[in-house]
Amino acid sequence: MAPPEPPSDPRTPLIALRPVLNVLGFLYVGLATAMLIPAIVDVVAKNADWQAFVFSALLTGLIGMLLSIAVGGSLSKGLDTRQTFILTTLAWATLPAFGALPFLWLGIGYADAVFEAVSGFTTTGSTVLSGLDSLPPGLLVWRSIMQWMGGVGIIVMAIVLLPFLRIGGMQLFQSESSDRSEKIVSRSVELIRLLGLAYLFLTVLCIVAYLATGLDLFDAFNHALTTIATGGYSTHDQSFGYFTNPASGWVAVVFMIIGSLPFVLIIQALRGQPMLLWRDPQVRSLVGFLAIVSLALTIYLGIEMRFPFDEALLKATFNVISVVTGTGYALGDYTQWGPPVVGLALLLKFVGGCTGSTTGGIKIFRFLVFFGTVRAHLRRMVRPHRIMSEEYGGTRLTPELSFSVLAFLVVYLGSVGVITLALSLFDLDLVTAVSAAATSVGNVGPGLGPIIGPAGNFAPLPDGAKWLLSFAMLLGRLELFTVLVLLDPDFWSR
């Protein structure tokens, strides 16, 4: 007979947080290192604002090192499910808090600074800043770097963490070689390395392409970082309307699409297997959807707005792709093109790119799973005794997977509704409230209407609304359930 297990020590924490805090410490040190880049830019430009970034880097790096030293320990065993939920949420919640330090140093209000940093790291692209053309170069570079780092984090989260956590149907993309136990395996490190190299390569390629269209090095660098990240921060108030060469817009179109594709398949394409991209159902669906909507809007602009065909094609394609990929760049104020375009823009804010990309919104694969589930249900209504199984890319859609996707869609739309209602308490009009909620949860960028539309920004909103929208951006970026599960008391029980 086996001896009874010794009673647990009541002083033992329910969840071991030392490994989580250790990783956070390393992340803060990495963030501090990144802050030195805009400091160098300001030094070269002979701008005294370099001190803001050096001070912020020292404070962030010191906290990170002290945290890692205080809780230091080995991570060879990896993190379990609950630790991963906590780490993911804490990382996305606290990194923007440190990222906001340079804005505070430069005199930007606390609510505005946090809003700008959250929007940057989540690659939302909503901004409270105006007069971008005259802002210090280091500050503009820092905004771009936040989005670029956020884009890397989004890819890693979508490919390594979310399938493991089985959120919103993401288990569909769990690698066959992934560990099926309760630990995240070390081989993920190799995947992260490949993702980082591919991300960096595409960024450099985008810089070169922008330079070839006539952008100077500063604009090319900043816009390449925010294009690949599908973030949308620009160095000009007019966004891409500032650039007169149409080729610059088409370069943005190409790389926004690349940023919305699964990066695992991009890696395989770079290794000589480009057809794997096209074989993915969500890639074909996304490209087809973008082509149809862009063509329809091109025809509309040609007939209703009397735009020449080449101008209509560029503006339609650019803005459709910018909204769907959640980039948030603007080429003209599309809210001035008539109510049908405004309605279309609102609907497109709910559509995202592919899983494993930098985009936000409701990923294309979730729509495919949803439509497949609905189709199967309709067929069973006609033939109740017929056994039917829907598939996605050769994988059978199990009831668990279908329920996971449907639950995500319900919670997603419910979150937009609740946030819209909360925003209305700040006396915002319906268009502003609905579009602000949709664009924040979907990490899209500009909203609709005269205040937060493509020609405006979020600065006029009350501070309370900015805090709420900052939370909404984090909620959307963390795929909703990563945050909501922490509110369940059962999560914290032994």
User: Residue 315: what residue type?
Assistant: K
pLDDT, tens digit, for every residue of 83-140?
889 999 999 999 999 999 999 988 899 999 999 999 999 999 999 999 999 999 999 9
Given a cut of 60, whether residue 177 has pLDDT beyond it is no
Q: Give residue 8's pLDDT band: very low, low, confident or very high (50, 70, 90).
A: very low
For 434, the token pair is 């609905």
Q: Give the Cα-Cα-Cα angle 42, 43, 47 (nearest 5 degrees).
A: 55
The answer to whether residue 384 scores a pLDDT higher than 70 is yes
Three-class SS of residue 331? coil
CB 155 within 8 A of CB 357: yes
Residue 351 forms beta bridges with which residues? Answer: 362
Q: Which of 354-358, 464-468, 486-490 tops mean pLDDT? A: 464-468
Contact 161, 84 (CB under 8 A): yes
- Reference 407, options 173, 172, 174, 167; nearest CA is 167
Gap between the Cα atoms of 460 and 451, Å rounded = 7
pLDDT of the residue at 185 = 39
Q: Specify the pLDDT at position 76.
A: 53
* DSSP character string of 187-215: THHHHHHHHHHHHHHHHHHHHHHHHHTT-
What are the structure tokens assigned to 339, written together? 């109510």
What band does 187 get if pLDDT is binned at 50, 70 and 90? Answer: low
- Alpha carbon distance 285, 260 (integer Å): 12
Q: What is the distance between the alpha carbons of residues 359 and 283, in angstroms, rounded to a whole number? A: 13
Rounded mean pLDDT of the chain?
Answer: 89
Instruction: Using the structure block, give the residue that is written with the tokens 């500063």.
Output: 218
User: In whole angstroms, what is the distance from residue 353 CA to residue 367 CA?
Assistant: 11
Q: Which helix (H) or strand (E) holds 392?
A: strand 391-392
Q: How confident is the model at residue 491 (pLDDT cuts 50, 70, 90)?
A: confident
Q: How far apart are CA 11 and CA 365, in angstroms?
A: 45
pLDDT at 38 over 50: yes
Q: For residues 395 and 416, which has the higher predicted lDDT (pLDDT)?
A: 416
Q: What was the pLDDT predicted at 1?
A: 43
116-150 per-residue burial string, b: 16 or more CB within 10 A, e: under 16: bbbbbbbbbbbbbbeebeeebbbbbbbbbbbbbbb
Q: For 453-486, what is each residue's pLDDT tens digit? A: 998 999 999 999 999 999 999 999 999 999 988 8
Mean pLDDT of 293-302: 97
State both tokens at 6: 């010794």
Query: Which range, of 139-148, 156-165, 464-473, averages the lowest pLDDT?
Result: 156-165
